Structure 1
Amino acid sequence: MTDPVIDYADVQGTLLRGYRVDLARHFILSITNAAAMGQFILALVEGTNGLPSITTAKRSLPHRDVFVNLSFTCTGLAALGVAAGDLTTFDAAFQRGATSTTTAGIVGDTGSSAPANWIGGMSNGSQVHAVLSLWVDADPAQLESVSAQLRAAFAGACTELSAQDAEALPDNHVHFGYRDNIAQPTVIGAPPTKRSVPDDQPAVKTGEFLLGYANESGGTYQVTPAALSTNSSYAAFRLLQQDVAGFETFLQQYSAKAGIDVETLAAKVCGRWRNGNPLELFPDGPGTVLPSSQLNNFNYVNTADPGQDDTLGIKCPIGSHIRRNNPRNGAVVGTDSTHHRIVRRAMPYGPVYDPAKPDDTPRGLVGFFINASLTNQFEFLTSQWNNLSDFVKSATGPGGSADGNAVYNISGQDVFLGTNDPASSSFTLAAIGSKGSNNTTITGFDRMIVTRGSIYCFFPGIGGLRYLAGLN
């Protein structure tokens, strides 16, 4: 079967391309004048009135240094005039919205992460209508000048609830110290990029990331009207505050309890060393950083070479962050990992953490988690694989049951994204032994990341933006 032909000029760029930039600003908007908002949308689509045009997935020459994309909430689409009957065809999670108590329960936005505690106007889902995202190469002055143009243009159309800024850290690292942006799904039909590298994982069907194309289940996600269905997608916009000081304390305390060094524990809870090298390829130490073409080229189960098999998670724990979020060829309950992949477009925010001068300044990650079904991808991934440990199927390695079984070698929740509580949290470091008899389990730690805001977004295609612009 030939790859589907995607009209890249009709797809908002961030859905299929990552922007290699240092600065970003996400405007959280509430529509106050639908007709004026329609005019603003059209000006962005056409790049008129001195505004940068909406960035598409079509490669542009010369290279752009300003990138703009626009997405809407369900209440935002309603405010623009999309019929209530049409909105019922949208993803069920999108209709609920991020601030719904049902949604919060599913994804773990409870306690300190509950919507009532969110900042930047995001706690009131009824007033959050759109997210206007701006990325620029590296010039803070350019970020401010383009922001001023955008603010002048949307004045009278919507109210700015807040602006959430992001700034890349050196060498693509995040505040927890890990190299990031390594593993993204290969989307069938997507434009190749300089960062496209081969790996052992199957490419994922286009319909897992764009409406209107075949997905991994053999169906097609679509909505009405058709203008909004073509080349569109959903995303969870997340503002995630990282407790960096708390994580470093966790590493110090629990590495001693586990009888391993700090950096090994950091690698075990993530699945990669902080330099990005995967434990599957470097089980004994971080080593020299692999080239990009090899950083993501591994699997967990290897029946052809028993010496390379890690069904039991001895090298890379089954409960590690990267293994939970993409089990690859590991055996899991239900469908395989290709049915639940997401594209991540997130950047750090807040100042670099100085361990010599610990502080509680807010810092973390902000951006989009993109998928064609918030229900089957983002919410499934978060609720099932990050916050449960019973999704792993019974499986033994080459040595048989005497060496152990995968179901005994995972416990608790994702150390990073789980709703961990000292009364119930746990993380298993597996060892050879029947029924986990020789495993080491650490317990009693708190959550490392708190949600400070979330928005369920819909990215229309360019034709869809024109449709919305013409409703009033």
Structure 2
Amino acid sequence: MVLELADIQGNILRGYSFPRAIHLFVAFPDADAGRRLLRALVPQVQTAARWDERPETALNVALTYAGLRLLGADDECLPGALREPIAQRAPTRLGDDLRTWRGELGRGKAHALVLLAGDGWAFAQRLRTLRTLLDEHGVEVGFEQRTEALADQREHFGFADGFGQPAVEGTDHRRAGQGEPEEYGSWRDIKAGEFVHGYEDEDAQTETAPLLRNGSFMVYRKLEQDVERFRSYLDREADHYCATVGVNHGTDPDTAHAYARELVAAKLIGRWRDGVAVELAPERDPAEAHALRHESVGEPDNDFRYADDRDGRRCPVGAHVRRANPRDSARATAQTRRHRIIRRGMPYEEGDARGLVFICFNASFERQFETVQRLWCDDGNAFGLGRDQDVLFASGAGSGKLTIPGEPPHFARAERGLVTTRGCEYLLMPGLRALRALAEGGER
């Protein structure tokens, strides 16, 4: 498989790992202004072509359905999920409550999203240049989001994040455990067409529309995290766990509570704070899991499976990371390879509000992101869990419990409001040729 890396936007297949980024949702005053802006931006877009040294900054561009139509794109090749206004689709397909949305994100006014990542003087200077360019073309910024990485790849709940990505055929950055599990402990890369259009997917099908070639559908969600609520929740569950299950971790009550707190957190998420998989380490010293990883340690081992842990004694079947990627689990997960997504998220802080800007790339909104979000995280039926919901997305509509198997099992109480969606948008991140065609008068 040979990918046209110079025509694929860089952040689809590669995480930049810049410490800062800004996302500008913009509206074109008219089609001509939008095309002129694209002509100015296309030469600046960072591609997936291999670099010897990482650039100081990286710029990428995605388009909403409204933007594509304004620029003259033929929408016959575009899925209904992109054409339908996200404010109509999100309540039924994602379980969102629009009353929690804030600001202009997802309100149907944006035509494009310009993403700029970097750090330091180079980032500040390029951002000033970008704002000047937008002003010159009369382009209005309707929604602006700044993000900033936390220490050691952590998110605000304290868990290492972002390293469990799919191994994509045709790329050279992969690790064991990232692809599709096969016999004898091996792993196979997932077909590139699951993420980038124009290549064969897992069903041996290839998207041929010029507008989509070397592009990917992008999900953008702003997720606010209630850190204090999460901490209080873990404290209460630790007390409950000590009372109902008990722990053999010292005789001091404070020590037992601290151990139960981290054990419950790890079991419900599926990884310890430092990213080590619960499947590989069902029990650990909490202090070790809390410690920041040294650069020489590298990323946690991702080479594990669930087939030998069908009852979830090591990693609960309803744990967050197991729901999002069931690997070789039983039941409805035989086609896991058809439901993978590439995640590119980053934390944000706005006054007292903290959270994660969740970005993902996939070839199909319905089959990939929406399946993971609605059928796997928001509902437990696919895993034989009834109405048990993911700990991070409990809405109050589920069973009200989360099960940690054992003797006896622990039934954690689902806590509503740990993560709240503040807005969502669906976009297309086109290939460079498609962007140029749109800039020159619309893709035909």
Q: TM-score, with normalisation over the residues of structure 2?
A: 0.87
CA distance in 2, matches of 1:451, 1:165: 17
* 3-state SS of 1:133 partner: strand
- Give the corresponding residue for 1:99: 87
Q: Which amino acid aligns with 1:129?
A: H
What whole-Å deviation, never above 9, does each CA across 1:80-100 have from its counterpart, x for those lacking one?
122xxx313212211114222
Matches within 5 A, 1:168-317: 168-190=149-171, 192-193=172-173, 196-199=174-177, 201-202=179-180, 203-223=189-209, 226=210, 228-259=211-242, 261-286=260-285, 287=288, 291-292=297-298, 295-301=301-307, 309-317=308-316
- Give the corresponding residue for 2:184: none
CA distance in 1, matches of 2:128, 2:231: 39
Q: For 1:32, which of 29, 34, 40 is the aligned residue?
A: 29
Runs of 5+ unmatched residues, structure 1:
47-52, 302-308, 352-359, 393-406, 433-437
- Give the corresponding residue for 1:325: 324
* 3-state SS of 1:457 partner: strand
Q: For 1:469, which of 426, 429, 439 is the aligned residue?
A: 439
- Give the corresponding residue for 2:185: none
Matches within 5 A, 1:5-16: 5-16=2-13
Matches within 5 A, 1:101-180: 102-110=89-97, 114=98, 116-125=99-108, 127-136=109-118, 138-139=119-120, 141-155=121-135, 156-180=137-161
- Give the corresponding residue for 1:50: none
Contact 2:389–2:399 (CA under 8 A) maintained in structure 1: no
Deviation at 1:331?
1.0
Change (3 A) 1:67 1:165: same
Contact 1:80–1:471 (CA under 8 A) maintained in structure 2: yes
Change (3 A) 1:322 1:88: same
Contact 1:70–1:130 (CA under 8 A) maintained in structure 2: yes
* 3-state SS of 1:105 partner: helix
- Give the corresponding residue for 2:345: 346
CA distance in 1, matches of 2:34, 2:53: 30
Q: Which amino acid aligns with 1:142?
A: A
Q: For 2:396, which of 421, 434, 446 is the aligned residue?
A: 421
CA distance in 2, matches of 1:319, 1:152: 48
Q: For 1:44, which of 41, 44, 51 is the aligned residue?
A: 41
CA distance in 2, matches of 1:78, 1:456: 14
Contact 2:328–2:334 (CA under 8 A) maintained in structure 1: no
Change (3 A) 1:294 1:171: closer
Contact 1:421–1:447 (CA under 8 A) maintained in structure 2: no
Q: Which amino acid aligns with 1:107?
A: L
- Give the corresponding residue for 2:67: 76
CA distance in 2, matches of 1:256, 1:26: 41
Change (3 A) 1:444 1:343: closer
Deviation at 1:337?
1.1
Deviation at 1:446?
1.2
Contact 2:194–2:338 (CA under 8 A) maintained in structure 1: yes
What whole-Å deviation, never above 9, does each CA across 1:379-432 have from its counterpart, x for those lacking one?
11111100111102xxxxxxxxxxxxxx36x7511111x242288421001126
What whole-Å deviation, never above 9, does each CA across 1:322-353 have from its counterpart, x for those lacking one?
000000000132642111000111111017xx
* 3-state SS of 1:450 partner: strand
- Give the corresponding residue for 1:401: none
Runs of 5+ unmatched residues, structure 2:
181-188, 248-259
Number of equivalent positions: 410
RMSD: 2.1
CA distance in 1, matches of 2:339, 2:200: 14
- Give the corresponding residue for 1:391: 382
Q: Which amino acid aligns with 1:152?
A: T
